[in-house]
Amino acid sequence: MADHPTVAVTGRVDQWLHDPAGRLPVSCTVLAVQDRMDGPDGIEDSWHFTSQALRYGAGVAINLSALRPAGTVSPNVTASGPTSFARIYSVLNETIRRGGRFKNGAVNLHLDSHHPDAQDFIKIPIDRLPWAKRTLIVHDDLLQLPYLNDIMEQMQSGSLWLSKARTDAAGNLLYGNVCNEIFLPSRGTCLLQHVNLGMCCIEDIPDAFEHGMKMLCAIHPLTGVGESGLYRSPEHDRQVGLGVIGLASLLAIEGITYRELVEAWELRLRPIDHARSQTKADRLVNSLIEGFDRAAAWAQKKGMERSLTIAPTASCAYRYVDRNGYTTTPEISPPIACEVDRYSGVFGIQTYDHHPRVEIASEVGYEDYFRLANCWQQSMEATGQAHSISFNIWDTQVIDQDFLEKWMRSALWTTYYRLPVRQQAALDKTIIQQKQVTCDLSADECVACAE
């Protein structure tokens, strides 16, 4: 099943398929820390959980919302608060990643916006948390928060991501993962792979989605993650994540623009009948939605609660080609340039060429990308099987109240990186430099999936 031409297997899953006795196919995981020093899921246990996951290359999201505010006095103890403990997770990530063989782990710290220490949390200087990212979990009152200006300032600088609070059908809290595209129960794990749209003709897409989901659901009970002692068993973690790579590649091959796709999709989502001839963009929208529906139906049949997502996929996409032989573009966003140079202290210099007709970000514009992501999320939601989209905010978009109000009204659940489109627009190629002095999650990839 993994050799199907339209399936793009993440590096972590590919390793496990070839060596099931090796490392678990866990891209990332999450822990909701309880308000106690010792005991299961307590603060000390969370350090062990983080170190164990990082040792094996997984990304770790740590939710600190249950911790008492700094200065809270109880018998014989004064609470340090989540901001004080945050640095420990950054140091764990730095130390374990530098020890011995390079590890593709990452840490994202989450805190609820209603926590009394939330303002202090988002304002921690980056040099105090160089190996950890931060996500603020927000509610309907985001625009009324007294520290809204601080939120916008931190988002503008790229230091803060957002995630809307979310529960499952039973009302249990769900927690965002490292890249904010998968919603998990505490100690749940990500099992990801993607449909390579660049290898699909329009009529192939529904079959490709169904095949990709069948493969994920077949792997799900076989991973052995529950036997590790760290993670939930598959029986109690009923979710997988099927995303895509290569939308821009497919559009280039088919001669469809992003604007044409967005307009066709928005028309399809309106609750009225449209008597007009079907354009190629209309056929693509119909095929994608049928793909979502067929994949979701199979996942639901297998007992999954969530199964559709859009993850950052560069490390996966760059290992695949489109049906014209060019390097596949990542996920659904337009690339910044048709040629990409990636510099890494670990992997050296790697150059990739996308299809010459690919629309790049400066040609598409952020407004149309936002509209596309919103349509994509709405259509995933309609299946009842949606996770989220790792949704980048380009540096051409000002972070202000109007933008946040628009994002809150949208179907989108999260924000992700502040993507440097403006500074690359004058270049003939995108240059991605992976730094070794900070947590090197980058805007177009999940490094935890990359190996």
Confidence of residue 353 (pLDDT cuts 50, 70, 90): very high
Asked if residue 437 has pLDDT above 50, the reply is no
Structure-token pair, residue 71: 């200065």
**Contact predicate 450/330, CB 8 Å:** no
d(CA 192, CA 27): 7
d(CA 190, CA 29): 6
pLDDT of residue 136: 99
Residues 19-75 have pLDDT tens digits of 887 778 888 999 999 999 999 999 999 999 999 998 887 899 999 999 999 888 887
pLDDT of residue 436: 43
Asked if residue 326 has pLDDT above 80, the reply is yes
Three-state DSSP class for 7? Answer: strand
Residues 262-282 have pLDDT tens digits of 999 999 999 776 566 789 999
pLDDT, average across residues 277-299: 96
pLDDT of residue 344: 63
Confidence of residue 446 (pLDDT cuts 50, 70, 90): low
Asked if residue 101 has pLDDT above 60, the reply is no
Structure-token pair, residue 174: 């769900």
d(CA 70, CA 341): 45
Q: pTM score, two decimals? A: 0.92
Task: Specify the range with the lowest mean pLDDT, choosing from 23-27, 124-128, 167-171, 359-363.
Answer: 23-27
Asked if residue 442 has pLDDT above 70, the reply is no
Sign of the alpha-carbon torsion through 261, 263, 269, 275: negative
Structure-token pair, residue 309: 């997502």
d(CA 103, CA 204): 37
**Contact predicate 26/53, CB 8 Å:** yes
Q: Name the residue type at position 89.
A: Y
Confidence of residue 334 (pLDDT cuts 50, 70, 90): very high
Residues 142-197 have pLDDT tens digits of 999 999 999 999 999 999 999 999 999 999 999 999 999 999 999 999 999 999 99
d(CA 443, CA 45): 30
Give the bridge partners for 32, in sequence order. Answer: 63
Give the bridge partners for 176, in sequence order. Answer: 183
Question: Helices then strands (H, E): number in the chain?
Answer: 13, 19
Asked if residue 212 has pLDDT above 50, the reply is yes
Report residue 430: phi and psi, to 5°.
Answer: -85, 135
Report residue 310: phi and psi, to 5°.
Answer: -135, 110
Asked if residue 408 has pLDDT above 80, the reply is yes
Q: Name the residue type at position 88.
A: I
